Chains A and B, each alone.
Chain A
Amino acid sequence: MAMASKAGRWNQRRLAPWLFLAPGLFMFGVYVLWPIVQSISLSFYDWDGLYNRDGEFTGRFVGMGNYAELMRDPAFETSLWNNLKWLVLYMLALPIGLFIAIFLNQTVTGIRLYKSLFFFPFVISQVVVGLMFSWFYAPNFGLFYLLTESIFGRGTAILADPELVTYGIIAAGLWPQIAYVMILYLTGLNNVAPDQIEAARLDGAKGWRMLWYVVLPQLRPATFIAVIVTVIGALRSFDLVSIMTNGGPFGSSRVLSYYMFEMALGEYGFRMGYGAAIAVVLFLIMMVFISGFIWKMWRDERER
């Protein structure tokens, strides 16, 4: 009797995790994992997104055709370059966010409110951020336009300038991203070991040297998360491009995420297979960073 119940308990403990996982795994499998597989296979087809009268898939297998076309597509090249600009310039969020965090890491009256208000841009939807910056950049009366007019004598309508437009959008994206990085560093600074700082101070370390040799090494976990969320933020840049320029002028502010959407659901017709191929490229780029993240997590797990 006792044996049987012990075995029952053991079986229960083997089965339990899978029962707890089942609903979550099912949803995640259906909506995330399986679509990735489908998208990859779809990228070898030419498909307009429709089914014939019998409900059959109407795609035509084209092998590497979509990818070969991508190689020759100037719009794809522009998007790729712009993605690179996003990635590189988005990293500015780290030093700026750290700077603001250091600036705000004091205990004066009302500082809590200041910290929250500095964090505001991150809480707001990117759609709203995009509209705010469009207003800021607006030709003729926008503050940015007036500012450039007073300095150079001629105003710059940054969102209408094919050379500058991407930088204008990236600046808008940096605003909430800096706020996010700032909050990560503020939390990190809160946990810097005070005794180490004091010891270093007694040794005569201050300013930059203190920051570089004593504080930054202790902020490493915060920096790691900040890099990850910033890279993902840069590669996910869809909302701002869509709201501020629709990829224009003349397609010069396209990024991969936006170009993919344009190809699959936009005015260029429903080129699902071609869109899927763009998505696969974006996915592969992201995978480089995801693997790095997972590798680091795996190492940390083993150390525990």
Chain B
Amino acid sequence: MFPRPIQQFSAPAQWLYTIALPIALVIWLFPLLGVALTSLRPASDLAQGNYFGMPSGIAWENYVFIFTQTPIGKYMVNSLWVTIPTVIGAVSLSLMTGFALAVYGFRANILVFFMFVAGNFVPFQILMVPVRDMTLQLGMYNTWYGLALFHIAFQTGFCTLFMRNFIKALPYELIEAARVEGVTEWRIFWYIVLPLMRPAIAALSVLVFTFIWNDFFWATVLTQGVDSQPITAGLSSLNGQWIAQWHLVSAGSILAALPPVAMFFLMQKHFIAGLTLGAVK
């Protein structure tokens, strides 16, 4: 194990480590903690310049205010409307593409695979004008499905990479044996491979959820206004209205951060498996 386990060090060194951990964490998360505390600080404190001292009270009303006086709740619902269909769509499509690329040795296989991988790394800006134009032409500008369709297509690149590698690692004899038995290809996919894909589906679902929930660029390019804007774009426009009302900006930020953070905590193992791409197993 590297570094040497702390248990093999002298007692003072172990003490030092135990103390250093929480201190390092507080420093590391400082911006987050500061904003979380500010979100509960009464507006009057900020007006008097009391930014970091003892708050005069806990102001849950900041949260009540943004929920009742601003459309932040609507923005969050919009985000769900984009995020959930994207997760379902991208995972389903990539299960099939991943299966095709992992199981069949046809000639264009590696070419198609690399195309998905490369497409996944392309800068968004090279897609922006044509995608926006097409979305407008199809009458899907400013709708949840216009945004979700793009996300599904784009995420399919990353998801295919992941699914294909996952299926490749499954024992191929299973598929061979089924073929000898005369099982059709579709049934092999549905009854043999799919049930083994649960961990991969879980990992990709949490990852795609987080990516899409946090997306700002496409939200700005393909939506406008309260009706369909997701929370990231919504928060940005609210920020423009709340100039320097940091208690509100903070409360909004914490709200926007909450769903992916909760998702991460619930599905931690899957999340990290997805992020490391299985490349560092």
Which residues of A are interface residues toward B (Cβ below 8 A)?
Answer: 9, 12-14, 16-18, 20-21, 23-25, 27-28, 30-36, 38-40, 42, 49, 100, 102-103, 105-108, 114, 116-121, 123-129, 131-133, 135-136, 138, 141, 143, 175, 180, 183-184, 187-189, 191-192, 194, 197, 201, 206, 210-211, 214-215, 221-222, 224-225, 228, 232, 235-236, 238-239, 242-243, 256-257, 260-261, 264-265, 272, 275-276, 278-280, 282-283, 286, 289-290, 293-294, 297-298, 301
Contacts and interface: CB of A to CB of B under 8 A. Distances in A.
A49 B129 contact: yes
Given A125-B260, A187-B281, A222-B276, 6 more contacts: A39-B129, A106-B6, A114-B21, A126-B216, A132-B35, A283-B123
B130 interface: yes
B122 interface: yes
Contact of A21 (B96, B122, B250, B264): B96
Contact of B119 (A33, A206, A297): A33
Contacts of A197: 1-2
A278 B3 contact: no
Contact of A301 (B51, B110, B253, B272): B110
A214 B257 CA distance: 39
A12 B185 CA distance: 8
- Please tell me the size bucket of the interface on B: 35 or more
Interface in B84-107: 93-94, 96-97, 99-101, 103-104, 106
Given A132-B31, A264-B128, A32 B157 contact: yes
14 contacts: A17-B106, A20-B100, A21-B101, A120-B32, A124-B32, A125-B260, A131-B250, A135-B249, A136-B30, A138-B246, A192-B2, A197-B2, A294-B114, A294-B117
B261 A124 contact: yes
B277 interface: yes
Most buried by A among B99, B126, B157: B126
A290 B123 contact: no
A135 B264 CA distance: 25
Contact of B253 (A105, A131, A175, A289): A131
B23 to A, nearest CB: 12
Contacts of A294: 114, 117-118
B266 to A, nearest CB: 11
Contacts of A214: 2
A257 B124 contact: yes
A183 B17 contact: no
A286 B97 contact: no
Contact of B18 (A102, A108, A236): A108
A32 B35 contact: no
A108 B218 CA distance: 42
B191 interface: no
Given A127-B232, A141-B51, A261 B250 contact: no
A297 B153 contact: no
A197 B128 CA distance: 49
Contacts of B21: 108, 114
B221 interface: yes
B2 A215 contact: yes
Given A27-B153, A128-B256, A180 B1 contact: no
Given A32-B154, A183-B276, A17 B100 contact: yes
A188 B149 contact: no
Contact of B214 (A13, A27, A126, A215): A126
B32 A132 contact: yes
Contacts of A183: 272, 275-276
